[in-house]
Amino acid sequence: MKKYYLAALSLLALGNQGVEAQALTICTVIANTSDGRILHEKGDCSGRVTPASTFKIALSVMGYDAGYLKDAHSPTLPFREGYPDWLGEVWRQPTDPTRWMKYSVVWFSQQITQAIGVERLRGYATAFKYGNADFSGDSGKNNALERAWISSSLKISPIEQVRFLEKFINRQLPVNPRAYEMTSQIVESNEVQGGWTISGKTGGAYPRKLDGEFDRTRGWGWYVGWAKKGNDTLVFARLIQDKERQATSPGIRARAAFLKEWPGLADGLMR
C-alpha cells in the first residue's frame, strides 16, 4: 500500500537543519510529459555526473525487455559471499526485483548487467539516449559490469534524466510493453500533499580525486522520477552535492528535500 509520509521524509536524516546547510542543490528540473515543455529549470542541469542508483530505472527496463527479470518477484536470488554488502544485513537477504529497487541492492544490479553484457547494455543506453552510454568502466580495470554506473564511466545530466523518463512515461523506448509495466510496478511510489503520487529512485555516489580515491566530502545525491495527478504527469530530476562529509546518504536527503518542496513547486507549475 502506498504510504502518506511526506512529513517523515522531510525530517529523515535532516535533524534540525535543512538540506541547504549540508549540500548545494546543483539542479532541479521538471518537464511535462504531454508536450515535453520544461516547466522548471534551476541550476546547472546539463553537466553530467554518475547516475549511481538512479540507473536502476533504466536497468529495470533493460532487464525486463531482455527477459532476465520476469515479474515483481522473479528471479529471487540468494546473497553470496563476496557480493557487495555495504548496507549490511539489508543486502545479505534473498532479493527479488521489488526488493532490489526498494533497498537499492548493488549485487542484484550486477547480476542483471552480467546477464545482459556490455555490448547490449551499451546498445540499450544508446537507444535510450541515456547520458554518454559509456559502459567501459574504470580505465584498465575491466569492471564495467560491476560498477560502470557508480562513480565510473557512465554519466548523465539532470536534463538527460528527464528526457529519458519522458520517453519511458510515453512508451517511446524500443522495448516491449511489459518492460514499462513491470518497471512502473516496482519503482516506489508515495502520495504527497495536493493529491500527487510521486514515483522515483534515489542515488548516491562520490566523485573521484586525482589519485582515484573517492572524495567522501563531496557526495552527489539524486532523486529522479515522475509525479502524477489526474491526467497530468510530470517528470523530474533533483541533483545535490554535499559541502562536507555527512553520515547519511545524499540521495535520501535529496529526496526528502524535494518532496518537502513539491507542493509549493507543483502549485506554481500547474497554474
DSSP state of 175: S
Residue 37 in grid coordinates: 515543455
249: annotated active-site residue: no
For 46, phi and psi rounded to 5 degrees? -110, -10
Q: Tell me how far apart the alpha carbons of residues 184 and 166 are, in angstroms, rounded to a whole number.
A: 13
Residue 139 in grid coordinates: 580505465
117: nearest Cα among 66, 177, 61, 180: 66
Q: Out of 10, 53, 104, 109, pick the active-site residue.
A: 53
The residues carrying an active-site annotation are 53
